[in-house]
């Protein structure tokens, strides 16, 4: 069965510090991968998506970047965190089937202090 | 044109009552409309989904009603239970090509005992 792992679950970081959030998917090959951010009252905002290794598309200009070094690994990074980067970050994947649903990880709660 | 508007923002329903959440979209190219359920501290999970070739889909106590001409769809939760208390998100996408869901802003449902 397919599973998605996202870590850490919670993170408190000072302003200006770097960030690295990791997501891995098991049980599937060549998935589309996504990073979403959830802010209170603002729903789920798509940040990045990837259709393959090294292929990253950005949806929103921001202080963050993403990388896909392996087929089932997706990393969200920042060189210097801002207060506005606080939020709930969700990794998601979808397999390459017409009727495949989007599956989310359990997210990382990031607080920038 | 990529937005999905969701209402209400929050909803309180008594146990046994009907919960109704509404969404509206503008992009007529959307052809996939899922609903996601999210419990605190967890990622959203697919609840039920509909394609525009049907006007209604029912799974247990959950029903999606779809009005293509009005570009609206809604989630009905019959016999609402305290365990249904969660945040619900509607979403829309085009299933052909690259799947990229656009989410509503979410509805926080509280079912009182």
Question: What percent of chain A clears pLDDT 90, i.e. is strictly above it?
Answer: 74
How much is the mean pLDDT over chain A?
91
- The yes-or-no verdict on residue A1 having pLDDT over 90 is no
Q: Residue A11's closest CA among A77, A104, A100?
A: A77
Query: Rounded CA gap, A61 and A55, in Å?
Result: 17
Query: Is B71 strand, coil or helix?
Result: coil
pLDDT tens, A37-88? 998 767 899 999 999 999 999 888 678 999 999 999 999 999 999 999 999 9
Token pair 């990837």 in the structure block, residue: A50
Out of B34, B45, B104, name the one closest to residue A43 (CB): B104
Please state the length of chain B. 113
pLDDT tens, A12-41? 999 999 999 999 999 888 899 999 999 876
**Pairwise CB contact (< 8 Å): B34 & A104:** no
**Pairwise CB contact (< 8 Å): B44 & A98:** no
For residues B106 and B23, is the Cβ–Cβ distance under 8 A?
Answer: no
The list of chain B residues with pLDDT below 70 reads 1-2, 96-98
Token pair 């209604």 in the structure block, residue: B56
For residues A23 and A105, is the Cβ–Cβ distance under 8 A?
Answer: yes
For residues B8 and B109, is the Cβ–Cβ distance under 8 A?
Answer: no
């Amino acid at each position: 069965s397919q599973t998605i792992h996202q870590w850490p679950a919670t993170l408190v970081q000072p302003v200006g510090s770097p960030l690295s959030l990791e997501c891995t998917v098991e049980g599937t090959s060549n998935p589309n991968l996504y990073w979403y951010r959830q802010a209170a009252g603002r729903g789920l905002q798509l940040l990045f998506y990837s259709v393959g290794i090294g292929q990253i598309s950005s949806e929103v200009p921001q202080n963050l970047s993403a990388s896909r070094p392996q087929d089932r690994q997706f990393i969200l990074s920042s060189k210097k965190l801002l207060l506005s980067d606080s939020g709930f970050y969700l990794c998601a994947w979808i397999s390459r089937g017409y009727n495949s649903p989007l599956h989310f990880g359990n997210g990382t709660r990031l607080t920038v202090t | 044109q990529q937005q999905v508007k969701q209402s209400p923002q929050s909803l309180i329903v008594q146990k046994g009552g009907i919960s109704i959440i509404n969404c509206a979209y503008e992009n007529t190219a959307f052809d996939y409309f899922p609903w996601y359920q999210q419990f605190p501290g967890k990622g959203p999970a697919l609840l039920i989904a509909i394609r525009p070739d049907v006007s209604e889909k029912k799974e247990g106590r959950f029903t999606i009603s779809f009005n293509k001409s009005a570009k609206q769809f809604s989630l009905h939760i019959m016999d609402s239970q305290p365990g249904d208390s969660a945040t619900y998100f509607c979403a829309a996408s085009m299933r052909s090509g690259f799947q990229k869901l656009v989410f509503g802003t979410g509805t926080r449902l509280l079912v009182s005992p």
